[in-house]
Amino acid sequence: MRIAVGQFAAGPDWQDNLTACIDLAAEADRGRADLLVLPEGVLARFTEDRHRIREVAQPLDGPFVTELAAATARSSTAIVVGIHEPSDDGRVFNTLVVLRAGALIARYRKIHLYDAFGTQESVDVRPADEPPVVVELAGTKVGLMTCYDVRFPELARLLADAGAEVLALPAAWVRGPAKERHWEVMATARALENTCWVAASGECGPRNIGNSLIVDPLGTVRSRLAAAPGLAWAEADPGVTAAARSTLPVLANRRFAVDPAVRLLGTAPADAFPLGA
């Protein structure tokens, strides 16, 4: 699988952000990417009044997803990107969509909300009570995670248990003391402990760090960006994945399983959800 991770600085206008996504998608297609990972929540970004996230949210059949999906109609590149979609409790879902061949083929709604470092994402965003998602793209199983999810190793392990060889990680990683270090450490740890590839896209700009990167199954960063918009590239060779899992058989050697039940604070006890495709 040929992977591209892209970053740009989202602004307040969804049409401008759509254009930026389409431009990166066209560049990824010219480079024969099988998978393009773009940042989290790119419908709109506000420097003030973050509650407007509710106003700009669009359904999955809205113009942003529809037009971006149309851009993949004649392309061999699948796109993973984050938007916000309305929910029935007045808040929104932080949702990843997977677009391929002109269609929406999968979605993942963020489970772990960024109620940390003085931010309360859950004020405006509803946590999902749906299962994690693995989707097959170009013959490779890709697991979906969003930003703060990377701090929860059990989610990455559940995705690996479901067969994921690549973890797609869109993010809008907020600047702060040591935050760049946290980002790289977490992305690298999730790759190494699960012997899988991590394709991590971080939005750049005044609020977020950028620093998109692709990490291989032994924890080596194969490609990265700094603060400027653009694409980073890597070949996620299944032979490299197999060799890593033979050399470092942590998935085979472990002694504990991860319970697939989704349990969210403030809700009734959850049932066990099967991992979805």
Are 40 and 171 contacting, i.e. CB atoms less than 8 angstroms apart? yes
Strand partners, 86: 92
Sort 76 into a burial class: Cβ within 10 Å, 0-12 / 13-18 / 19+.
middle
Which of 110, 165, 196, 203 is flagged as catalytic?
110
Q: With both helix axes pointing from N to C terminus, report the angle between 179-194 and 153-161 in degrees, rounded to the nearest 10.
A: 30
Per residue in 89-132, pLDDT (tens digit) is 999 999 999 999 999 999 999 999 999 999 999 999 999 988 78
Q: What integer pLDDT is reported at residue 263 of this predicted model?
A: 64
Which of 21, 85, 121, 147 is flagged as catalytic?
147
Active site includes 110? Answer: yes
Q: What integer pLDDT is reported at residue 174 of this predicted model?
A: 96
- Tokens representing 127 are 């946590």
Q: Summarize the chain as % helix, strand, coil (round to 5).
A: 30, 25, 45
Sign (positive or negative) of CA dihedral 174, 179, 181, 183: negative
Q: Which residues contact 253 (CB under 8 A, 6 or more apart)?
A: none
Per residue in 260-271, pLDDT (tens digit) is 777 644 444 434
Active site includes 21? Answer: no
Q: What is the amino acid identity at position 106?
A: A
Q: What integer pLDDT is reported at residue 131 of this predicted model?
A: 79
Are 192 and 217 contacting, i.e. CB atoms less than 8 angstroms apart? yes
Its pTM stands at 0.94
- Domains located in the chain, CATH noted: 2-247 (3.60.110.10)
Helix intervals (H) in the chain? 14-30, 53-56, 63-70, 153-161, 179-194, 238-247, 250-253
Per residue in 155-180, pLDDT (tens digit) is 999 999 999 999 999 999 999 999 99
Q: What integer pLDDT is reported at residue 239 of this predicted model?
A: 97
Strand partners, 81: 97
Active site includes 40? Answer: yes
Low-confidence ranges of the chain (pLDDT < 50): 264-277
Which of 21, 40, 165, 204 is flagged as catalytic?
40
Q: What integer pLDDT is reported at residue 59 of this predicted model?
A: 98
